[in-house]
């Protein structure tokens, strides 16, 4: 009875590409179909055989939403099936994944993260409470004392095969990934604090951590390693006042590696940025719908709304400078490194009790956020990325996120290409300027990310690889250069004689800015290449 009720509630909560699905299908039938496509990997009650390791570059295989078609759209639009979007996050539903794209929650979880594990996992909870370099009372934690690895030996090996509550599964995934990264990278942190070099991490993840982690990762449809959305950032906050919003003064961390205020600032700034993503999702859907039916006025307004939402996100991103000091970043950066393309793990990591062969996973990175990839795909920037190993890394990064998010990004990319958002924008000069302004917001975001890399990382270390395993100097400029080229192309081709005075000034400003920044970026990368040679390892 409970599953039927939950399914019906889910059916009422689905928006299909901007249209209410329940108006076209019976709720029970809709919910059954939605469960098939949205619950990207069922919360199995049987233990996995753990017979074959997951690919570090693959994502959950469920194809989203093949049965959802919008009525009233063109035959051309039906060639790319619609994607089910939550317009109500149904926070009390514990049978569907915590992370599902919605017009209210956006790319955040449907309900606030579970702050403490249930009592049956008290040994794990207690260990995590003692983990951080600096504890809340100011005393040194297990990582600061170099005792975390030994403390893990007494941790029971929990059997998570029968856990089905999605909220508990999400919390267990978060906590086991914190546990695994702390265990594997503790020696690197100790060595870095002493010598400024990372040395080697632990090459074997013990069975009492590895087996439960793999079990819960398979249930959630993720890789068994720390991810940006599912663990480190977007499932790692708590509201001080439950009645208030996701704003800086009302948020605290659940887990932390360092306990330093700058780590809180680093993580919570990402949460407050992503708090705008529901509006971004809604405006993206409206833009795609308007382009599909060739509604110029609605397209222009929807794309303007996309621009305004990215402006709010970029303003929030800019607060990072004051909330998380550049000089503090290396105090906790060690623990968000991965095991792929990192010298600390030349042969990967053996997951004891799971697979005989070592596995490699990319580390946590803000590049795993879904807001800019959605903009890339909506504006058809992704398809214009150069064919090179750096772009291959970009594609690989996009598998390190909740399965539902990855499927949605793929859907946006296909739909935008199919209705040709860029061409529709360029058919009208004033629409083209709005498109140019939207691309400029992606430039703004990527340029700030590049500035963070220079000021938080390159200024303080010569380690040639970012946390996600990408080359520290060349990877971000690869994407930023594509954005700048697009701006130059669009800006050069706009018929200025047909522009409003305001749009003419804006087009000139954005075109000149992109041209100037392209030249600066090329010089920066060339100069930094002298300090960081061999940046072709991906």
- For 351, the enclosing helix (H) or strand (E) is strand 350-351
Query: From CA 488, how far away is CA 200, in angstroms rounded?
Result: 45
Closest CA to 419 of 309, 307, 292: 292
Exposure string over 250-265, b if 16+ CB within 10 A, otherwise e: bbebbbbbbbbebbbb
End-to-end CA distance of the chain: 50
Query: Does residue 463 have a known ligand-binding role?
Result: no
- In sequence order, the β-bridge partners of residue 525 are none
Residue with tokens 């100097």: 473
Q: What are phi and psi of 408, to 5 degrees?
A: -65, -45
Exposure string over 412-422, b if 16+ CB within 10 A, otherwise e: bbebbeebebb
Distances (CA, A) of 376 to 12, 80, 448, 528: 30, 18, 16, 26
Helix, strand, coil content of the chain in percent (nearest 5):
55, 5, 40
H-assigned helices in 347-388: 371-378
- Beta strand 14-16 with 19-20: parallel, antiparallel or unpaired? antiparallel
H-assigned helices in 256-370: 261-274, 277-292, 296-318, 320-323, 330-333
Q: What are phi and psi of 106, to 5 degrees?
A: 60, -120
* Residues annotated in a binding site: 449
Annotated binding site for heme b: 449
């Amino acid at each position: 009875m409970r599953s039927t009720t939950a399914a019906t509630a889910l059916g009422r909560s689905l928006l299909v590409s901007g249209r209410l699905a329940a108006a076209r299908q019976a709720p029970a039938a809709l919910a059954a179909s939605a469960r098939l496509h949205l619950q990207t990997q069922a919360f199995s009650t049987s233990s996995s055989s753990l017979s074959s390791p997951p690919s570090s570059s693959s994502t959950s295989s469920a194809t989203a939403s093949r049965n959802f078609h919008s009525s009233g759209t063109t035959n051309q639009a039906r060639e790319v099936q619609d994607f089910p979007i939550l317009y109500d996050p149904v926070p009390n539903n514990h049978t569907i994944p915590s992370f599902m794209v919605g017009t209210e929650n956006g790319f955040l979880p449907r309900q606030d993260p579970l702050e403490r594990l249930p009592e049956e996992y008290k040994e794990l909870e207690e260990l995590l409470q003692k983990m951080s370099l600096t504890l809340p009372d100011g005393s040194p934690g297990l990582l600061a004392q170099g005792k975390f690895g030994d403390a893990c030996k007494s941790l029971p090996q929990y059997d998570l095969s029968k856990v089905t509550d999605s909220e508990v599964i999400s919390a267990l995934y978060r906590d086991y990934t914190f546990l695994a990264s702390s265990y594997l990278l503790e020696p690197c942190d100790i060595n870095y604090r002493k010598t400024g070099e990372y040395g080697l991490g632990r090459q074997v993840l013990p069975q009492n951590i590895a087996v439960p982690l793999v079990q819960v990762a398979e249930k959630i449809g993720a890789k068994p390693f720390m991810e940006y959305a599912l663990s480190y950032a977007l499932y790692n906050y708590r509201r001080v006042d439950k009645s208030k919003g996701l704003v800086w003064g009302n948020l605290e961390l659940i887990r932390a590696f360092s306990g330093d205020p700058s780590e809180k600032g680093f993580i919570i700034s990402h949460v407050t940025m992503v708090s705008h993503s529901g509006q971004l999702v809604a405006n993206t859907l409206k833009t795609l719908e308007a382009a599909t039916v060739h509604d110029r006025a609605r397209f222009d307004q929807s794309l303007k709304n996309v621009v305004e939402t990215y402006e709010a996100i970029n303003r929030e991103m800019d607060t990072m400078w004051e909330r998380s000091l550049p000089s503090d970043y290396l105090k906790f950066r060690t623990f968000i490194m991965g095991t792929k393309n990192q010298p600390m793990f030349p042969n990967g990591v053996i997951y004891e009790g799971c697979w005989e062969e070592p596995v490699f996973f990319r580390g946590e990175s803000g590049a795993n956020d879904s807001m800019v990839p959605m903009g890339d795909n909506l504006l058809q920037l992704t398809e214009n990325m150069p064919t090179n190993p750096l772009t291959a890394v970009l594609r690989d990064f996009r598998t390190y996120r909740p399965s539902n998010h990855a499927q949605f990004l793929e859907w946006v990319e296909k739909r935008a290409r199919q209705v040709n958002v860029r061409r529709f924008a360029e058919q009208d000069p004033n629409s083209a300027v709005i498109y140019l302004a939207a691309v400029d917001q992606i430039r703004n975001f990527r340029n700030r990310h590049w500035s963070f890399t220079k000021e938080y990382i390159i200024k303080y270390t010569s380690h040639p690889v970012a946390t996600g395993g990408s080359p520290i100097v060349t990877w971000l400029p690869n994407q930023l250069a594509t954005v700048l080229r697009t701006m130059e192309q669009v800006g050069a081709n706009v018929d200025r004689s047909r522009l409003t005075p305001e749009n003419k000034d804006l087009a000139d400003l954005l075109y000149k800015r992109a041209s100037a920044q392209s030249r600066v970026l090329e010089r920066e990368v060339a100069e930094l290449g002298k300090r960081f040679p061999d940046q072709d390892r991906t």
